[in-house]
Amino acid sequence: MYYSKKSAEPTPEEQTSIWSCLSDGCECWMRDNFSFDSNPNCPICGSEMLADSRMLPVLKK
Ligand SMILES: [Zn+2]
């Protein structure tokens, strides 16, 4: 394997746990580690949120 060290490296992504709004037409979601509740409600419409996951850029600490 060869990796070139260029400045335009793609941002690394990883499968990240998120909460996704269950309301039709509401696109709201948030990272699981940004929510303080084990079963949060959507901050936009107040609907229940479903545990989901998606590929997101890795957060730098
Ligand atoms: Zn919502």
How do residues 16-59 score in pLDDT, each as one tens digit?
999 999 999 999 999 988 666 688 999 999 999 999 999 999 98
**Distance in Å, CA 10 to ligand 1 centroid:** 31
Q: Where are the domains of the chain?
A: 13-57
AA identity, residue 41: N
Two structure tokens written together for 20: 């996704």
The answer to whether the Cα torsion of 46, 18, 51, 36 is positive or negative is negative
The predicted pLDDT at position 9 comes to 76
Q: Residue by residue, what is the 3-state secondary structure of 1-61? A: CCCCCCCCCCCCEEEEEEEEECCCCCCCEEEHHHCCCCCCECCCCCCEEEEEEEEEECCCC
**Distance in Å, CA 22 to ligand 1 centroid:** 7
**Distance in Å, CA 25 to ligand 1 centroid:** 8
**Distance in Å, CA 58 to ligand 1 centroid:** 24
Residue 5 confidence class, pLDDT cut points 50, 70, 90: low
**Distance in Å, CA 56 to ligand 1 centroid:** 20
